[in-house]
Amino acid sequence: MIPLDVAPRICKPRCSNPKTVLPMALHIDTTQPFRRPSERIALVEAILSAAPEDEKDWLEWKSVLDLADADGRFGVARHVLGLANRMPEAAAANAEGFGYVVVGAEPGKVHGVTPMDPADLESGLAPYLGPTGPLWDPMYVAVQGLHVLVLQVDPPREGDRIFPLHKEHLKFLNGCIFVRRLGKTARANGAEMEALQRRLLAAGRVEMSVENRGESALRPMRLDQGAVDDWLDRAASHDRARPPAKANQLGYLGLSSTLAGDRRSVSEYKGEVASYLESLKRRATSLAIGSALHAGLNRVTLLAANSTDRNFSDVEIRLTVPPGVRCVAEYDVNKMRRPPKPPAAWGTATWLPPMDTSYLEDIVPAGYVESLEIEASGDGQTVLFRGLHLRPKAEVALDWFGAVFRDPSGPPTSISLTWTATATDANGQQHGEIVLPVVAEEVDLGHWLGRVTPWRK
């Protein structure tokens, strides 16, 4: 890479006459714009060593233009308009989208220009560019003892207006549209006008992508009844007995001695145990799935990307999930894997009847909005991501969710999710499809059910 703070090395190929220097292709680093004086001097030096046909769609040079003359001012304005009417994606390939008009130099020779006060130059170009024309920045640099004008034009952006000529000049009428082609500025044709219209309208539309960034394929899940029965047998045989509570040691406080022991009868305690085992049976499948998903199996990790130069605020992404696939949010996974609260051990001293506190798990802070919601939608589901903000050229990792499926006819080779994205500051919708790979190897949920510990407080 050639340093931009110094003039680039000029390539001098061998030829039959050693005193002759043949011009070469434009040789300069274009990954960054040319903002500083030394960088613009380097650009002029690169032009001197280039060939006449090396003008680019981002660079125009003119050997001689009289900026005090109407023809000269129109000549500069025409190229400014052409550079401003480029397509953003193509322009971004060089100098971060900036365009340049160089006056007073050409391949092999510096002609120089008579410097003009920047205010006079602006007032001279303004009639052609219009009051809301392109943004540009002039700079005079000294090369080989002569002044050269290097004029920088701001990069085109999605949503930019179409910049027309505002003052008639010779055969070019007021309203004429100039565009930049390779090495020249010309009047726009029909296809180029349509492209400029698309650029103008792009600012009002959503443009983003949603991609699968999961590291492993999804697997069907299976839970054998035998594994459930074995787990329930182990839970039923769990020894919960405790020595009877000691005699009341709080009598000196004047409390009744009946508060010191277990207030339940033996039959009441056995009834609580039976109810608890029944709840474990009902929730066995949910507990096994929650345990497997929490461990990282069948996680779907998506990434939303904004490849444009615009901000998209309050983005909402909707995923349509086909029938036969059940999606589970991370918040629900954490609830699924927790077994129900067991009864207190027999012989436990109870001061008050046990209080049901399960409702506390569903309490959320005031004003809290879940960024991921999953809703039933016909035979399938809708996964909804809300409140996203996508900055220009940025990516946002979406909250993960689990995918559970079991197809009696055999697992699919892939699962297709369609998505739709909208934003509050952009019109329209962006649509796409995400294909999640699936492998045939099943997840044995019996193993993950065995990792769930009942009777845990």
> pLDDT digits over 353-405, tens only?
555 555 445 544 444 445 789 998 878 899 999 999 999 889 999 999 999 98
Tell me, what's the pLDDT at 231? 92
> pLDDT digits over 271-308, tens only?
888 999 999 999 999 999 999 999 999 999 999 999 88
Q: In the Cβ-directed half-sphere of 113, how many Cα atoms lie within 13 Å?
A: 29
Tell me, what's the pLDDT at 290? 94
Mean pLDDT calculated for residue range 43-71:
93
> pLDDT digits over 196-227, tens only?
998 887 766 777 889 998 777 899 999 999 99
Enumerate the β-bridge partners of residue 320: 382, 418
Integer Cα distance of 319 and 60 in angstroms: 48
* Domains detected in the chain: 37-202 (3.30.950.30), 209-350+369-449 (2.60.40.10)
Reported in sequence order, the residue ranges of 50-106 that DSSP labels E, i.e. its strands, are 59-62, 99-103, 105-106
Torsional class of 190: left (φ above 0), alpha (ψ -120 to 50), beta (otherwise): alpha
Enumerate the β-bridge partners of residue 97: none
Cβ neighbours for 230, distance < 8 A, ≥ 6 positions apart:
none
Tell me, what's the pLDDT at 370? 55
Q: Give ∠ CA 179-180-182 in degrees, rounded to 5.
A: 145
Tell me, what's the pLDDT at 412? 73
Q: What is the CA radius of gyration of the chain?
A: 37
Q: In the Cβ-directed half-sphere of 281, how many Cα atoms lie within 13 Å?
A: 13
CA pseudo-torsion sign 184, 185, 191, 196:
positive
Query: pTM for the whole thing?
Result: 0.56
What is the Cα 151 distance to its own chain's centre? 34
